[in-house]
């Protein structure tokens, strides 16, 4: 037999205090949380450090002498499932710049002349990192990529390249004398040599003179 329901009129009447605190009983949880530690982080004033292997913004790495590790193979672009990477390779040229050459930017035959990552598409999966054969592309801990325009989130090569350290020389410049491409990846190059520094200084002077000559030919006064 099913249990018979009790008549609501037969229930015992509540006491005075029960009736008094009944309207505010639902605020019990709110009152308790007022005295607990707040778990909210006041971003951007307070920033929690990311994990060591966090997948943030990409970086194009350099060799210890300053030459770029990217060889323009485009494997990262092929591996990207979101089609967010565009690479255009070019041949290194050891012909002097004053003779029409472009110079050397990486060991070996080719380098990445154009490198773009569209962060409107990137899903930060890291497949491009796994596909890179020279360890040229890695991911940093930087994650603040918001901007006011869509075009600003398409990063160019100069934005992705690692900065030049004190023991490096910005390319173009020749490889370390007596070294081959494999020597770079075997860790035999520890920094820029004096010959590379002299080459870079001479190249800067020649480019400055060429710019001044161009300005003079156009009728402008060189600054």
Q: Looking at the domain covering 58-205, what would its CATH class be?
A: alpha beta
Q: What is the pLDDT of residue 110?
A: 93
Average pLDDT, the chain: 86
Percentage of the chain surpassing pLDDT 90? 57
Confidence of residue 214 (pLDDT cuts 50, 70, 90): confident
Q: What is the pLDDT of residue 39?
A: 78
Q: What is the pLDDT of residue 223?
A: 47
The structure tokens listed for 111 are: 């380098």
Q: What is the pLDDT of residue 9?
A: 56
pLDDT-wise least confident of 4-13, 47-56, 181-190, 206-215: 4-13
């Amino acid at each position: 037999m099913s249990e018979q329901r009790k008549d609501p009129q037969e229930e015992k009447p509540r006491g005075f205090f029960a009736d008094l605190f009944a309207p505010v009983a639902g605020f019990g949880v709110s009152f308790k949380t007022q005295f607990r530690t707040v778990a909210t982080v006041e971003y951007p004033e307070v920033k929690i450090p990311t994990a060591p292997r966090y997948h943030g913004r990409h970086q194009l790495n350099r060799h210890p002498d300053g030459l770029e590790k990217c060889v323009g193979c485009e494997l990262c672009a092929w591996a990207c499932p979101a089609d967010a990477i565009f690479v255009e390779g070019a041949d290194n040229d050891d012909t002097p710049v004053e003779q029409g050459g472009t110079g050397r930017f990486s060991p070996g035959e080719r380098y990445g002349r154009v490198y773009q990552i569209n962060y409107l598409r990137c899903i930060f999966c890291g497949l491009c990192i796994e596909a890179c054969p020279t360890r040229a592309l890695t991911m940093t801990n930087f994650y603040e990529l918001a901007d006011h325009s869509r075009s600003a989130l398409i990063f160019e090569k100069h934005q992705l390249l690692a900065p030049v350290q004190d023991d490096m020389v910005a390319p173009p410049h020749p490889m370390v004398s007596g070294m081959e491409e494999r020597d770079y990846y075997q860790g035999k190059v520890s920094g820029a040599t004096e010959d590379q520094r002299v080459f870079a200084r001479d190249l800067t002077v020649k480019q400055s003179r060429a710019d001044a000559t161009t300005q003079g030919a156009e009728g402008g006064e060189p600054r």
